Amino acid sequence: MDSNEITFDDVINNCRRDIITSCPKDSVRYGNSCYYFSTNTATWYDAERACFIRGGHLAIVESKQEDLFLINEVTKKKTNFWLDGTDEKVEGRWIWSSIQQGVSYTNWDKLDGEPDGKTGQNCLGIYKSSKGNYYKWYDLKCSPRKMNFICESKLQLHIYCFIQCEKVVTLHQNSMFSTHNNGLCGCDCIMCSMQFGFLTTLF
């Protein structure tokens, strides 16, 4: 190998890193998560699969602040949405399906007697109350009922590396990384910069 050539490891170990966080264009950011509010309806089971295909899961609510954010978005959209909660395995024991952990924070519509479905209603949704013009948590039939759904995914973390080179950069082929040439580098260049960007997610 030419001593002036720069390897893939050189780029990763020696580059200057710029970090940018973002969500997909069809999602809304809150904290370190991205929330997609579907425009189509599905059963709870199909909604769960749809979120998995998007690289996430049905939304998990772990605090009052997060719940207020979701309910505010739902209220603006004026429709009902599925969340990740279920008590299908053990009646009355609500868990977040995607992580198999118990639901600690809740926001049931107590004025409407929620949760009230017993074994017939085992899936969680943000639902317009029958007691007023507001949205709360309801236990609902997982199927055949169809509703919109909220998918939650981790905030995307874009890491861009910049490195100076004296000759054309030679990189090992690696499909996990996308390379971007800013147009300054060429066979005869004396000093130029190359930008390498790759995408990961926050965990």
Give me the chain's average pLDDT, please: 79
pLDDT digits (tens, 9 = 90+) for 176-200: 333 334 333 332 322 233 333 444 4
Beta-carbon contacts of 144 under 8 Å, excluding residues fewer than 6 positions away, are 43
Distance from C-alpha of 149 to C-alpha of 162, rounded to nearest angstrom? 40
pLDDT band, residue 22 (cuts 50/70/90):
confident
| Secondary structure class of 136 (helix, strand, coil) | strand
Prediction pTM value: 0.72
Average of per-residue pLDDT across 92-118: 94
- What percent of the chain has a predicted confidence (pLDDT) above 70? 68
pLDDT digits (tens, 9 = 90+) for 27-71: 999 998 999 999 999 999 999 999 999 999 999 999 999 999 999
pLDDT digits (tens, 9 = 90+) for 117-138: 778 899 999 999 999 999 999 9
Distance of alpha carbon 62 from the chain centroid? 15
| Secondary structure class of 68 (helix, strand, coil) | helix
Distance from C-alpha of 196 to C-alpha of 18, rounded to nearest angstrom? 10
pLDDT above 90 (res 168):
no
Tokens of 131: 């007691």
First to last CA, the chain: 37
